[in-house]
């Protein structure tokens, strides 16, 4: 999997940071794209990436502040104009359905693909399939706001061909069944259970993407043992009072969450425009003093898992 940041700023767009959006590139048979938030001009940023809007299958909205949703109507319309016919599902807090439907109706924008809007009423598992499980939990912001946890299903271990040979199992289509863990019966009457010929499974990746929030234990639960945590860092050390008043976090708060949750990598996101150049470096240094595997998101930067 890979993450591409389409907007890493807080509140309003700046020359070097657009408002919030990021894309999660999935390692599945469809090479699907999931978006998390869709601030103003998200589709403009997409033009500078290999992302195709028809590949976007799901959009997860953390909350309804404008810097996280104002890009939605344009993106949805462009996806249709570009010929997409595949379904798209949007998840978000109550109110997201009204916002989207009103924007499309007033602008007389008609979509030529199925659009499903799922409003989240409470935390928990949103869905699970053969590849991923996605869950969410409410955070601590001025309005209803969610964080998301994406868990890739574990991969079956490799078929142990040496053991297959020792058992005298010939080559053939039945090896695929064996690899899936199924029981096979050969023409000579012998039966074998797949689990006896499969090596150790490989653990899937875990990505946690949080919306705007004060420091909260819910963030730790969502991020537990994640390979990658994307955490808002609107303010720096010394601006704790501002962070609290505006229901945001500092870079150190993000680092403390990462450390407590035992994550592998932390990416600081949602950076206030008050921090430029050297100030961003200081923000990073403050976080790294608590959690060393910390990086700062930049627009159009990508991180692989």
Residue 110 sits in a domain of what CATH number?
A: 3.60.15.10
Percent of the chain with pLDDT over 70: 100
Position 115 pLDDT exceeds 90: yes
Please check whether residues 78 and 167 belong to one and the same domain. Answer: no
Please check whether residues 171 and 230 belong to one and the same domain. Answer: no
Please check whether residues 135 and 232 belong to one and the same domain. Answer: yes
Please check whether residues 139 and 183 belong to one and the same domain. Answer: no
Please check whether residues 147 and 171 belong to one and the same domain. Answer: no
Mean pLDDT value across the chain:
95
Residues 49, 258: Cα–Cα separation, whole Å: 29
Position 90 pLDDT exceeds 90: yes
What is the domain count for the chain? 2
Please check whether residues 22 and 80 belong to one and the same domain. Answer: yes
- 73-86, pLDDT tens digit by residue? 999 999 999 999 99
Range of the domain at 168: 161-197
What is the enclosing helix (H) or strand (E) of 250? none
pLDDT on residue 132: 96
Of 37, 67, 212, 239, which one is the catalytic site residue? 67
27 is catalytic: no
Residues 126, 211: Cα–Cα separation, whole Å: 16
- 239-270, pLDDT tens digit by residue? 999 999 999 999 999 999 999 999 999 999 99
What is the enclosing helix (H) or strand (E) of 241? helix 240-245
Please check whether residues 221 and 295 belong to one and the same domain. Answer: yes
Please check whether residues 187 and 276 belong to one and the same domain. Answer: no
Q: How confident is the model at residue 201 (pLDDT cuts 50, 70, 90)?
A: confident
Please check whether residues 181 and 290 belong to one and the same domain. Answer: no
What's the whole-model pTM score? 0.91
Classify burial at 1, counting beta carbons within 10 Å of its beta carbon; exposed 0-12, middle 13-18, buried 19 or more.
buried
Position 109 pLDDT exceeds 90: yes
First to last CA, the chain: 6
Please check whether residues 117 and 74 belong to one and the same domain. Answer: yes
């Amino acid at each position: 999997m890979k993450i591409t940041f389409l907007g890493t700023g807080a509140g309003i767009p700046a020359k070097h940071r657009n408002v919030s959006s990021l894309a999660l590139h999935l390692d599945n048979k469809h090479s699907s794209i999931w978006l998390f938030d869709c601030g103003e001009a998200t589709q403009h940023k997409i033009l500078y990436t290999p992302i195709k809007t028809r590949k976007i299958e799901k959009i997860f909205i953390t909350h309804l502040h404008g810097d996280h949703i104002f890009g939605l109507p344009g993106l949805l319309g462009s996806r249709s104009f570009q010929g997409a016919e595949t379904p798209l599902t949007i998840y978000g807090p109550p109110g997201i359905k009204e916002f989207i439907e009103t924007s499309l109706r007033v602008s007389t924008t008609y979509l030529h693909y199925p659009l499903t809007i799922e409003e989240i009423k409470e935390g928990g598992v949103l869905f699970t399939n053969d590849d991923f499980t996605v869950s969410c939990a409410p955070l601590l912001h001025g309005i209803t706001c969610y964080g998301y946890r994406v868990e890739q299903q574990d991969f079956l271990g490799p078929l142990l061909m040496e053991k297959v040979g020792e058992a005298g199992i010939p080559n053939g289509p039945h090896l695929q069944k064996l690899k899936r863990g199924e029981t096979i019966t050969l023409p000579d009457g012998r039966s074998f259970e797949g689990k006896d010929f499969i090596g150790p499974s490989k653990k899937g990746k875990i990505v946690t993407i949080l919306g705007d929030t004060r420091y909260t234990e819910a963030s730790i639960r969502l991020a537990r043992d994640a390979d990658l945590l994307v955490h808002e860092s609107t303010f720096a050390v010394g601006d704790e009072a501002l962070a609290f008043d505006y229901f945001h976090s500092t870079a150190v708060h993000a680092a403390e969450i990462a450390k407590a949750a035992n994550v592998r990598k932390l990416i600081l996101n949602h950076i206030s425009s008050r921090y430029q150049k050297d100030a961003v470096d200081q923000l990073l240094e403050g976080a790294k003093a608590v959690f060393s595997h910390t990086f700062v998101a930049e627009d159009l930067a990508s991180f692989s898992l």
